[in-house]
Amino acid sequence: MALPNYQHNPTAAADIDSLIGSTPLLGFRRITAHLPDNVTIYAKAEWTNPGGSVKDRAAANIIRQAERAGELTRDRILVDSTSGNTGIAYAMIGAARGYRVRLFVPANASPERLAILRAYGAELVLTDPLEGSDGAILAVRELVSAEPDRYFYANQYNNPANWQAHYHTTGVEIWQQTHGRVTHFLAGLGTSGTLMGTGRRLKHYNPQVQIISLQPDSPFHGLEGLKHMPTAIKPGIYDEALADHNLAISTEATHEMARRLAREEGYLVGISAAAAMVGALHMADELAARGEPGLIVTLFPDNAYKYLSETFWTK
């Protein structure tokens, strides 16, 4: 089921924002070779965004909306908690637009991410690694409550501009790229913005499209950027009723899939991308077992360049 690429290629970019979005769909050969012809998996290559991840979409929209509302000005510091990718997007856009950016990041974030953030000039506050992303959230809230007039709190976990970015871009792109034939969409849960926005848009186009959420199978996991929702601080933008199905993904299966994608498909992707492929393949196998057709689309949030210090690559 070959699909043409749908990608906007401007001859010149007006600014960094104009490079965000219109990411290509990737197909697969070896990992999906066992599937029947009527069950297909595609993944959006979100590392082609200028900041290297899907989080460019949300960060750009959060900043644009805050500028329009007069909430973000040159005399206020943009602050937020992040596991890395959204922070990189804030730092990149902040550098381009002349904003100071201060980020609360768990101290166990990959050294590659921390190096990128520092390269953009972001101010970093490293939080307790044992508290994960929730610890960073609590720390930034404490700062902002003490001096609210000094900061613009981007608040990616509760800011509707996060999911709206995907409603207006990611969901539209997927619908156009598949010519309206997408039957299933899967995404991991971190802030939940990607699933909420893309899922709502695809449901708007066709209520029969199945939306599947992915999350770690345990509160103690190694899937950086993903939340185990039953034990985490739930994002305000998260609506658990949106997903038609929920899949729990193991760290071990994700690490194995990251290696397979690199060695069998040539896709060197990040941890959450590998988790997405585990979920997509699980759904594809279920459809094939039932003799049902499907065009499954997932999303690869970033590539592996920020995770190469992880030891699982060498197994």
Instruction: Residue 77: name the closest of 88, 86, 66 by CA.
Output: 66
Distance CA 210, CA 186 (A): 8
The one catalytic residue in 133, 192, 213, 272 is 272
213 is catalytic: no
53 is catalytic: no
The one catalytic residue in 55, 81, 110, 227 is 55
Rg of the chain (C-alpha set):
19
Question: C-alpha angle 290/294/300, rounded to 5°?
Answer: 120
Residue entry with tokens 């539209």: 172
- Long-range contacts formed by 134-141: CB under 8 A, 24+ apart: 134/232, 134/233, 135/106, 136/81, 136/82, 136/83, 136/104, 136/105, 136/106, 137/81, 137/104, 137/233, 139/81, 139/104, 140/79, 140/80, 140/81, 140/104
Distance CA 66, CA 144 (A): 16
Count of CA atoms in the C-beta half-sphere (13 A) of 225: 26
Q: Helix 160-168 and helix 170-177: axis angle, to 10°?
A: 20
Q: Catalytic residues, which ones?
A: 55, 272
